[in-house]
Amino acid sequence: MAEPHDLTALEQAAAIRRGELSSVELVEHQLRRVDAFADTVGAFVTVTPDRARAAARAADAVPVDERGPLHGVPTAIKDLTLTAGVRTTFGSAAFADFVPPVDADVVRLMADAGLVSLGKTTTSELGCSLYSEGLVAPPARNPWQLAYTAGGSSGGAAAAVAAGLVPVAQGSDGGGSLRIPASLCGLVGYKPSRGLVSGGPLGFGAFGLPTNGPLGRTVTDVAALLDVLARPVPGEPYLPPVPPAGGYLAAARDGSPGRLRIGRFTTPMLADVPVHPDCVAAVDRAAELLTAAGHEVVEVPAPLGPAAWPLFETVWYVLALAPVPAGRESELLPLTRFLRERGAAVGAGPLMAALGELQAQVRLGVRRTAGCDLLLCPTLAAPQAPVGAFAALDPADDFDQQRRFSPYCAVFNVTGDPSVSLPVGRTADGLPVGVLLTGRYGADATLIGTAGQLEHACGGWDQHPAIWRAAGSANVNITSGIGYASE
């Protein structure tokens, strides 16, 4: 007998439409799980139960024929994302008491679609690192093995979805921040094409690197949330790609993108590091399944190499220079202060030169793989990393080790191409291993359709760690702990 959190986001919405569950009942169920497990996995900075209950009552009052595919479904908002009237800390003690007066466009769009936010999920400070371990919330831990990080900067969102606290969540990705946590936690993390999802109403676009996007357990759930987020908003700095007929959910359900040429590589792009055999094995398995589905998989050179790293480094230093309240710089973490000090030393001329040279190298890299519809590579150079492993280092070493752990994702933030991490592999211990599938700019429907096809070939990815059944289950009894389990 399934419990409400066993249902996918689309299944939850369907149950609401049929009258089998109400949004209020779902929200109460998920809030009980949040109360039981949120601190254990470090999922939330701020929980908003009263707002969620009010939103659920409003969702239940909407006529059935006016409801969208995710109407009434519980979700969560990343703590980097402005949410009017709700404490938004950006993962930092320097913003511990900040309450925005406005919603980010994606928050408004999700509310308009009838989704119900339970609160704000844990993130890295100012989105600066690929792990989510700050001073305003417990560290985001991987529900599959609590000794390991859930990643960052959307680490709390991944922990919440993988632990069954919400079925889907909003995140953002400026250098892998959706795809890294997805790979670690066995989820689907989708970075849309540049301009497809609004970054407004505030901000300058950050050179086009970051974008909002969905995180979920299945490709169809992620596609349904992308349909909600990918609404044109006036004033955005990048022209949005044309959406497919029927939307991205239809593309995911169709699962037949046609015969594609897929370029495979495993050579790391931003660091000269060995790649863990489990990460290579996951790419091999994906390549075999894609070939069996009728696609042509060919070896290609990596689009970029480690020589491009100093250019990325310069840009990321500057991106750390977000405004901080006067007199509160000392409350920032050592890594954040290090990045900001380096960024403050970069002049306008060197920054423009780095951006120009980086774009030139990206153009050359794209031409190296010009005959391919999709690219396939590892998401990360290693399957997992312990909580505290990076933060325990000197800030300069911390930043360098992050590059070595994640030498693939960020390149596609510069190209603006859509990119998704898919949980194709497993370690010998049963922990998730992701692969990165990347499409051509604007071809999100092709990428999502192929991801759905690969999910079907794998037999589905909606698998769960032991914490899924650790409490509140009439069906399964387990001993909770920091070990892993799957079902």
Q: Show which residues are catalytic.
A: 78, 153, 177
Residues in the chain: 487
Relative to beta strand 261-264, strand 374-378 is parallel
Please tell me the number of Cα atoms within 13 Å of 310 on its side-chain side.
6
Query: By C-alpha distance, which of 173, 180, 189, 119 is closest to 149?
Result: 180
C-alpha 383/C-alpha 281 separation (Å) is 11
Burial class of residue 67 (count of CB atoms within 10 Å of its CB; 0-12, 13-18, 19+): middle
Strand partners, 172: 212
C-alpha 170/C-alpha 438 separation (Å) is 20
Residue appearing with tokens 């119900």: 116
Q: Are 441 and 211 in contact (CB under 8 A)?
A: no
Please tell me the number of Cα atoms within 13 Å of 389 on its side-chain side.
16
Exposed e or buried b per residue across 136-173, where buried means at least 16 C-beta atoms within 10 angstroms of its C-beta? bbbbbbbbbbbebbbbbbbbbbbbbbbbbbbbbbbbbb
C-alpha 174/C-alpha 430 separation (Å) is 29
